[in-house]
Amino acid sequence: MANIGIIGAGISGLTLASVLKNKGYQVRVFERGHQPGGAMKTSCSPDGWISEWGPNTIVESSGRIQKLIALAGLEQARIYPSSLTKKRYIVKNGQAMAVPDSLPRLLRTSLLSRSAKWRLFKEPFLRRGRDTDQETVAGFVRRRLGEEFLKWPIDALVGGIYAGDPEKLSLKYAFPRLSLLEKQHGSLLIGQIRGGVRRPPGSDEIPRDKAPIFSFEKGMQMLPDALADQLGGAIHYNHPVHSVACEHPSSGNQPVWIIRSPNDDTQWTFDAIVYAGNAWNIKQTSFPDAIQREISLLETIPHPPVSTITLGYRKRDIQHPLDGFGMLIPGIESFPILGTLFTSSLFPNRAPDTDHVTLTTYIGGMRQPEVALKEESDQIGLVHKSLTQLLGAKKEPVFSSFIFHQHAIPQYHSEIGHVFETLTQLEANHPGLFFCGNYRSGISVGDSINAAFDLASDIITKIPLSS
């Protein structure tokens, strides 16, 4: 039976291990921490507050995500937000303004000036740009939509998704669907009217504007916990991988991969190994010299610090109706926060009762990394002050949760294409070596799940079950 070693028990590693085990492969997962899931953790206070360390939702962007939920046995544990939370807010001139969701509302909104709206309607008549890895999100938006569109909606969106800087992110890799809309249709607006990005035949992808969003009754951690329970003893916790070696049998058969951990004297051998850990942490594992020289490129991917701050208030102490998903703040507004999710509007059980509300706010990122390095009390104070100005918080919060991520979201910078090409070449040159994680195939939970399914199919093709 083919034996696969997986380094890292985040959602990528857990998904891959679960799919391969379900197909009959023998898997072992090595996790340096004491629990599965990476940043996908949930805290539940004794008095009923639920707060997430990392992602708050999953976009059901493919049928493979549905398959994973079924594999984990969590179909009945999924919860979906109410239709009221489809509304999004963006801050402009110190006020949270609803994002228009239709053409009539777009024409009436004060979020964009008349000239910006006119520029938007001229977009279908602009020429296509050159297909290049080097074009940044900011360069693309200026070219097709103009400076004002960049400063408000797009800068806010990039801050909310990547905690990033649109001047530094690669359009092709950070927002591939925008790049494909222009490539396939010649226009963003025309592309949306025609149904978005054309999907290949047989694809189970669900268009993002139609894909449902969900979480779980007791928070996001339910998913990695359920997957880990099914994997059982196949996961080795508190087992950092010290080194990876490769031996080539003289008979010319498939190479043998060897994993060693400093925690014991055991030497583990595999038909293939997958690095599903963090890009910024790969220096903790040594690889054969020919691989080590190339793999060090992963360390060049920026991972800015981000703090996740969850505050609970009495509902009567918040003047805003919180009738939406949340609000995003562009950098031009000069607030010390990136955005806030209206968490208890999304999922009511995130607060102890209907008399309280939960708000999850993010600080730092590429925009203001120094703010995420302040003392916890200072950051909570900055968040409360911002929520007082933007949402009318009249009194101090009655609950707080603070999580600091020194290395948060990987930034798909303008040179990231070279990193991806290097990983692909390493896999081609070293049969049985694979890479999987949010540093490669998209940063969302759904992206990581889809990429893990794709990699499982690749491994099944290249490493026969009878190896």
Q: What does the domain layout of the chain look like in residue ranges?
A: 3-40+221-299+412-462, 117-124+133-161+169-202
> What average pLDDT does the segment 6-26 reach?
97
Q: How many CB atoms lie within 10 A of CB 249?
A: 9
Q: Report d(CA 467, CA 213) in Å as an integer.
A: 39
Q: Report d(CA 385, CA 371) in Å as an integer.
A: 14
The encoded tokens of residue 71 equal 């594999």
All residues at 6 or more sequence positions from 441 whose CB lies less than 8 Å from its CB, including other chains: 447, 448, 450, 451, 454
Specify the pLDDT at position 263: 72
The encoded tokens of residue 338 equal 């990136």
Q: pLDDT class for 250, splitting at 50, 70, 90?
A: low
354 burial type by CB count under 10 A (0-12 exposed, 13-18 middle, 19+ buried):
exposed
pLDDT exceeds cutoff 90 at 327: yes
| Crossing angle of helices 176-185 and 137-144, rounded to 10° | 40
With a pLDDT cut of 90, the percent of the chain lying above it is 79
Closest to 195 (Cα-Cα) out of 207, 183, 178: 207
Please give the full DSSP string across 420-434, using - where no structure is assigned: HHHHHHHHHHSTTEE
Q: pLDDT class for 86, splitting at 50, 70, 90?
A: confident
Q: Report d(CA 8, CA 313) in Å as an integer.
A: 37
Helix (H) or strand (E) holding 121: helix 114-122
All residues at 6 or more sequence positions from 272 whose CB lies less than 8 Å from its CB, including other chains: 2, 4, 5, 257, 432, 433, 434, 459, 462, 463
Specify the pLDDT at position 338: 98
Lowest mean pLDDT among 120-124, 313-317, 427-431: 120-124
Q: Homologous superfamily of 3-40+221-299+412-462 in CATH?
A: FAD/NAD(P)-binding domain (3.50.50.60)
pLDDT exceeds cutoff 70 at 252: no
Specify the pLDDT at position 465: 85
pLDDT digit string, tens, across residues 28-65: 999 999 999 999 999 999 999 999 999 999 999 899 99
The encoded tokens of residue 367 equal 């925009």
Q: pLDDT class for 134, splitting at 50, 70, 90?
A: confident
pLDDT exceeds cutoff 70 at 355: yes
> What average pLDDT does the segment 325-339 reach?
97
> What average pLDDT does the segment 400-418 reach?
95
- As a whole number, the mean pLDDT across the chain is 93
> Residue type for 126, please?
L
Architecture of the CATH domain 117-124+133-161+169-202: Orthogonal Bundle (1.10)
65: number of CA atoms within 13 Å, CB side? 23
pLDDT digit string, tens, across residues 254-311: 889 999 988 777 789 999 999 999 999 999 999 999 899 999 999 999 999 999 999 9
Q: Report d(CA 459, CA 452) in Å as an integer.
A: 10
* E-only strand ranges, 343-436: 356-364, 399-405, 433-435
Specify the pLDDT at position 251: 62
DSSP H helical ranges for 27-113? 63-72, 103-108
pLDDT exceeds cutoff 80 at 200: no
> Residue type for 289, please?
D
All residues at 6 or more sequence positions from 157 whose CB lies less than 8 Å from its CB, including other chains: 328
Check for a shared fold between 3-40+221-299+412-462 and 117-124+133-161+169-202. no
With a pLDDT cut of 70, the percent of the chain lying above it is 99
The encoded tokens of residue 183 equal 């490539």
Specify the pLDDT at position 67: 95
Q: pLDDT class for 211, splitting at 50, 70, 90?
A: confident
